[in-house]
């Protein structure tokens, strides 16, 4: 697996980013142009269906990411359970949990405490990580 860091951890899903999204977005714009040039009931229906396909694609992607975020939150709660008081763990936001998954076991408790106290966002947490723990399972 390739090395990950704060600068190189973004994962591209080729099917989503390079095939499905461009094709469905192009389809929408072509249908909209066609409707503009030849207004009729059928061209309006074509635009509505194209928009529905684009919306469906992005909703499906968001649902998958939300499920992964929930699992990450659960994993990080379990990992922090023996290292931090329950109140501090409960104070962490979902985005903080998602960012903390990259912190090594040795530094995760300290970073979590700092994240809660300073209300850090994902970028601040990721920038503070000294020993990066890669996540190759995220899609």
Tell whether 57 and 90 lie within a shared domain: no
Residue 21, domain member (yes or no): yes
Confidence tier at 117 by pLDDT (50, 70, 90): very high
In a shared domain, residues 108 and 65? no
Q: Could you tell me if residue 89 is inside a domain? A: yes
Whole-Å CA distances, 120 to 47, 108, 134: 42, 14, 20
Q: Which of 126, 139, 114 lies closest to 17, judged by CA? A: 139
The alpha carbon of 16 is separated from its chain's Cα centroid by a whole number of angstroms, namely 13
Residue 66 CA to residue 117 CA, distance in Å, equals 25
Which of 47, 72, 97 is the last residue before a domain boundary? 72
Structural domain count of the chain: 2
6/103 Cα distance (integer angstroms): 11
Question: Which range of residues forms the domain containing residue 20?
Answer: 12-72
* Same domain membership, residue 94 and residue 64: no
Q: What is the pLDDT of residues 8-20, one digit of tens each?
A: 677 788 999 999 9
Task: Please report whether residue 1 resides in a domain.
Answer: no
pLDDT, tens digit, 9 for 90 and up, residues 75-101: 999 999 989 999 999 999 999 999 999
pLDDT digits (tens, 9 = 90+) for 57-67: 999 999 999 99
């Amino acid at each position: 697996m390739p090395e990950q860091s704060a600068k190189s951890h973004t994962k591209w899903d080729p099917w989503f980013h390079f095939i499905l999204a461009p094709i469905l977005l192009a389809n929408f714009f072509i249908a909209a142009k066609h409707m503009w040039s030849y207004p009729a009931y059928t061209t309006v229906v074509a635009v509505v269906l194209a928009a529905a396909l684009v919306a469906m694609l992005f909703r499906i992607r968001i649902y998958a990411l939300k499920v992964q975020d929930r699992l990450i939150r659960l994993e990080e709660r379990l990992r922090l359970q023996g290292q931090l008081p329950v109140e501090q763990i409960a104070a962490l936001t979902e985005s903080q949990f998602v960012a903390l998954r990259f912190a090594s076991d040795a530094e995760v408790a300290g970073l979590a405490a700092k994240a809660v106290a300073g209300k850090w966002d994902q970028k601040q947490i990721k920038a503070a990580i000294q020993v990066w723990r890669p996540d190759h399972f995220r899609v």
